[in-house]
Amino acid sequence: MTVMIVDDAETNLLVIKSLVDACGIVGASTFKKPVEALSRLDDLGPSLILVDYMMPDLDGIDFIRAVRDRDRFKDTPIVMVTTTDQRSVRLEALQAGATDFILKPIDPAEFKARVRNLMHLADAQTKLRDQAAWLSREVEKALAVARGREAEIVMRLARAAELRDPETGEHLERMSRYSERIARAIGLDDAFCERLRIAAPMHDIGKIGVPDAILLKPGPLTPEERSEMQKHAQQGGEILERSSSELIRLAGEVAISHHERYDGSGYPFRLAGDAIPLSGRITALADVFDALTSARPYKPAWPTEQARAYILAERGRHFDPACVDAMMSVWPDILAIHDERATAVATTQT
Ligand SMILES: [Fe+2]
Ligand SMILES: [Fe+2]
């Protein structure tokens, strides 16, 4: 606990300091110049300030105002030591943020009693503030752990689904990064973009319910097989729906809506336009773009320019125009994500 004493008269400083010392408080700092005291405020961090009223450069009231301007000293007790008991001065000092007054000549017994009380108050305030800060740090830590676990569960589920799905982990990684990039380009908030990046790889989780004969069939699917395959969207939604976790609910939303089309010709519900959740409209675009630009057993990888032309042609049909525009506005970033994979593949091959 430190005490700051500010008074332009040397004798007053000595008297007040000896009284403070007598209260058992060691290391009180004294200042003849209020401006100098202000400049040392942050590094000294006093728990109690005693300030004179009449001083040449800056009077006690202006000094109190300057102290109160700093957030850290909003609640620090400040006592004005003054020869005047003028009502208007007291009122102005109180309005400026003074906590208490001590009249000169100082009555040592009264002074000690007041200083002790104020030190107790300052002590309690510091403890309370420290405790609140500690508590909020602990809550933040616990939340970060919970969020990390949630993200891990989602990732592990996606990995489990990958074992059955011929689509690679690289597809999941890329489409989730495209989704995040598009979401950011739309201007969605940070937390949502981050959640979407983690949730997007779950889009095909429902494929764990599709029979192997259909899922792994190399040739084209019959209409019955196709409708069986299409059930993966709804099944994914059912696996993830009604979670208390915002992240898992978002993953469910992506799973159930990533095959809807903007013009209402998609599945499972033939939703159109804004009736399709935004997460579904974004991931649909990211998913198709990555599918087009990746080699599959039945087709080679399309060049990015060809995929871009396809997406533009499907603007307002398969895809939400706003999502397409957002994707185009960050096209170099999309290409960078795409090329990263190409470089990685080239590196592993050499
Ligand atoms: Fe899908
Ligand atoms: Fe996919």
Q: Residue 255 sits in a domain of what CATH number?
A: 1.10.3210.10
pLDDT band for 342, please (50, 70, 90 cuts). low
Shared domain for 174 and 294, answered yes or no, is yes
Looking at the domain assignment, is residue 158 inside a domain? no
Are 117 and 78 found together in one domain?
A: yes
Q: Which two tokens stand for residue 130?
A: 């420290």
Give 38 Cα–ligand 1 centroid separation in angstroms.
64
Q: Which ligand minimizes its atom distance to the CA of 205?
A: 1
Give the mean model confidence (pLDDT) for residues 41-45: 93
| Nearest listed ligand to the Cα of residue 233 | 1
Distance 203 CA to ligand 2 centre (A): 7
* Segment of 100-104, 113-117, 144-148, 301-305 carrying the highest mean pLDDT: 301-305
The DSSP letter of residue 201 is G
How many folded domains does the chain comprise?
2
Expressed in angstroms and rounded, the spacing between residue 291 Cα and the centre of ligand 2 is 7
pLDDT for the residue numbered 343: 59
Give the whole-angstrom CA distance, residue 226 versus residue 215: 10
Q: By residue range, what is the domain housing residue 16?
A: 3-134
User: Which tens digit of pLDDT belongs to each residue from 213-256?
Assistant: 998 888 889 999 999 999 999 999 999 999 989 999 999 999 99
Where on the phi/psi map is residue 50: left (φ > 0), alpha (ψ -120 to 50), or beta? beta
Nearest ligand (C-alpha, residue 210):
1
Q: How far is the CA of 336 from the centre of ligand 1 (A)?
A: 24
User: What phi and psi, each to the nearest 5 degrees, are found at residue 90?
Assistant: -60, -45
Together in a domain, 72 and 215: no
Residue 144 lies in a domain: no
Are residues 117 and 219 both part of a single domain? no
Q: Is residue 223 included in any domain, yes or no? A: yes
Residue 230, number of CB atoms within 10 A of its CB: 17
Q: Is there a single domain that holds both residue 57 and residue 120?
A: yes
The answer to whether residues 72 and 169 belong to one domain is no
| Same domain membership, residue 307 and residue 232 | yes
Q: What is the mean pLDDT of residues 90-95?
A: 92
Is the per-residue pLDDT at 30 higher than 50? yes
207 is an active site residue: yes
Q: What integer is the mean pLDDT of 35-39?
A: 95
Q: Which of 74, 207, 231, 299 is catalytic?
A: 207
Q: Does one domain contain both 183 and 89?
A: no
Q: Exposed/middle/buried for 289, CB within 10 Å: 0-12, 13-18, 19+?
A: buried
Residues, beta carbon < 5 Å, ion ligand 1: 204
- pLDDT of 350 reads 42
Range with top average pLDDT, 72-76, 184-188, 341-345: 184-188
Which residues are in the CB-under-5-Å shell of ion ligand 2?
A: 287
Question: Do both 92 and 231 map to the same domain?
Answer: no
